[in-house]
Amino acid sequence: AQKVTQAQTEISVVEKEDVTLDCVYETRDTTYYLFWYKQPPSGELVFLIRRNSFDEQNEISGRYSWNFQKSTSSFNFTITASQVVDSAVYFCALSEAGSSTGNQFYFGTGTSLTVIP
């Protein structure tokens, strides 16, 4: 079973609209970490945020905000007043409690966001 599900394959919005990217995860661990990455058309993967399972506070960074809800196993990402530069594929990832052998990441299949000028 998928540990991370990003049900939205592609989203298109008009510039300045708000958009929310959904991420649902599955784990039996009580300690885990959630991440979001951005992959612009140039192809590199850019780390955006890390959140641990004990911190359910929402986080805002400029136009970006993240809503973590353990009750629904979701870690959604909202872009406010979207811009063309936000066009990218966004990946959500889960990492369960680390061991000395490394922390495996489980990635969702990504959501491709297109912001139309």
Partner 1 sequence: DAGITQSPRHKVTETGTPVTLRCHQTENHRYMYWYRQDPGHGLRLIHYSYGVKDTDKGEVSDGYSVSRSKTEDFLLTLESATSSQTSVYFCAISEQQGVGNQPQHFGDGTRLSIL
Q: Which residues bind partner 1 (CB under 8 A)?
A: 6, 31, 33, 35, 37, 43-45, 47, 50, 52, 91, 95, 97-98, 100-105, 107-110
- Supply the minimum distance, in Å, between the C-beta of residue 50 and partner 1: 5
Report how far residue 7's alpha carbon sits from residue 55's, in angstroms, rounded to the nearest whole number.
24
Report how far residue 57's alpha carbon sits from residue 114's, in angstroms, rounded to the nearest whole number.
28
The nearer residue to partner 1, 80 or 106, going by C-beta atoms, is 106
The nearer residue to partner 1, 77 or 91, going by C-beta atoms, is 91
The nearer residue to partner 1, 15 or 55, going by C-beta atoms, is 55
Report how far residue 76's alpha carbon sits from residue 49's, in angstroms, rounded to the nearest whole number.
12
Return the SS3 of 85.
helix
- Supply the minimum distance, in Å, between the C-beta of residue 32 and partner 1: 8
The nearer residue to partner 1, 25 or 37, going by C-beta atoms, is 37
Residue 97's Cβ-side half-sphere holds a number of Cα atoms within 13 Å equal to 6
DSSP bridge partners of 115: 13
Torsions phi, psi of 88, nearest 5? -175, 175
- Supply the minimum distance, in Å, between the C-beta of residue 96 and partner 1: 8
- Supply the minimum distance, in Å, between the C-beta of residue 70 and partner 1: 16
